[in-house]
């Protein structure tokens, strides 16, 4: 049986869907406070629910019983609840999950981190790199997935990219290229990593089919929508100041991610796709679907 930690999130839910469609037995870790509509959808897929929390070691040990493989996508950056923090969840919580997996005899652990080129000392990067290090030293068969910027998140109103109203916030000059990747492809890599020998004890940097600058992305959306976008830039200096003046770890983490976006993140995928034949969604295809 496979345990998906972060099952109520967009990525974790998509992984659960793909696994159950493939006939796999899946257990999803959910919190007592999780949205009942989401947990009901998971049950309709055939996911066995285990109630627990990354901050509750006993619940993790219980959830890991009878599990052969874990896929963990959980992060407070996407679904924060009272009492959550990067330090307690993304750092200590994920490390507690590794310890619980070892105690329960889990043999394989797939961890969704983010691009290795985001090399800052902000709390989220430190948390993720610490978990990666602990996982590599655990003795379990591991796969660390390091996707670049998610299309569905960073090209959405959450980060100031509002295609419906032809508005775009660009971090930095917008000229450095990023390997935008779709959430669905990250889910596909996670599922494929369960059985693909190339994923065994591997760190996989993941990007989309072609790297594009944010300004090139805007031009694609303008072409497809027939609208001229109102583009606003947030200078790198402002992002540096935002990070320096942040009052909590979440603010520092997002400022760091925006600054890394401004600097660019190009991930060559040719060699990886030879071992993982997964079709990648381009920004143009995403724009055609969403405009």
Q: Report the alpha-carbon distance of residue 194 to residue 185 in Å, rounded.
A: 15
Q: Name the residue with tokens 């916030």.
A: 169
Residues 287/220, Cβ–Cβ less than 8 Å: yes
pLDDT at 235: 96
Q: Report the alpha-carbon distance of residue 150 to residue 207 in Å, rounded.
A: 9
Q: Report the alpha-carbon distance of residue 84 to residue 92 in Å, rounded.
A: 11
Closest among 265, 254, 281 to 116, alpha carbons compared: 265
- CATH of residue 68's domain is 3.40.50.720
231 located within any domain: no
Q: How far is CA 75 from the centre of its chain?
A: 8
* 206 token code pair: 């993941």
Q: How many domains is the chain partitioned into structurally?
A: 1
Q: Which domain does 193 fall in, by range?
A: 2-148+182-207+266-278
50 located within any domain: yes
This prediction has a pTM of: 0.94
CA geometry: angle at 16 spanning 15 and 21, to 5°?
A: 100
pLDDT at 120: 75
75 located within any domain: yes
65 located within any domain: yes
pLDDT per residue of the chain (291 residues) written in tens, 0 to 9: 999 999 999 999 999 999 999 999 999 999 998 999 999 999 999 999 999 999 999 999 999 999 999 999 999 876 656 667 889 999 999 999 999 999 999 999 999 999 988 867 889 999 999 999 999 999 999 999 999 999 999 999 999 999 999 999 999 999 999 999 999 999 999 999 999 999 999 999 999 999 999 999 999 999 999 999 999 999 999 999 988 888 888 888 999 999 999 999 999 999 999 999 999 999 999 999 988
pLDDT at 65: 97
213 located within any domain: no
82 located within any domain: yes
């Amino acid at each position: 049986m496979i345990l998906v930690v972060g099952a109520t999130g967009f990525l974790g839910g998509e992984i659960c869907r793909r696994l159950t469609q493939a006939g796999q037995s899946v257990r999803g870790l959910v919190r007592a406070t999780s949205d009942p509509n989401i947990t009901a959808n998971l049950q309709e897929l055939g996911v066995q629910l285990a109630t627990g929390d990354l901050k509750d070691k006993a619940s993790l040990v219980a959830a890991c019983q009878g599990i052969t493989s874990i896929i963990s996508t959980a992060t407070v950056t996407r679904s924060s609840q009272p009492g959550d923090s990067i330090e307690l969840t993304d750092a200590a919580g994920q490390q507690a999950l590794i310890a619980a997996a070892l105690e329960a005899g889990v043999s394989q652990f797939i961890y969704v981190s983010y691009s290795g080129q985001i090399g800052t000392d902000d709390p989220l990067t430190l948390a993720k790199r610490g978990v990666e290090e602990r996982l590599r030293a655990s003795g379990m068969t591991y796969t660390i997935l390091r996707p670049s910027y998610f299309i569905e998140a960073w090209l959405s109103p959450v980060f100031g990219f509002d295609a419906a109203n032809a508005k775009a916030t660009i971090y930095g000059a917008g000229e450095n290229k990023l390997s935008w990747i779709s959430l669905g492809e990250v889910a596909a890599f996670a599922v494929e990593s369960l059985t693909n020998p190339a994923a065994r004890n591997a760190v996989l940097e993941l990007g989309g089919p072609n790297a594009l600058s944010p300004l090139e992305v805007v031009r694609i959306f303008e072409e497809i929508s027939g609208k001229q976008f109102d583009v606003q830039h947030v200078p790198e200096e402002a992002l540096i100041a935002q990070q320096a003046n942040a009052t909590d770890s979440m603010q520092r983490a997002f400022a760091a991610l925006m600054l890394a976006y401004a600097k660019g993140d190009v991930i060559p995928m040719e060699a990886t796709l030879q071992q993982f034949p997964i079709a990648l969604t381009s920004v143009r295809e995403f724009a055609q679907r969403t405009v």
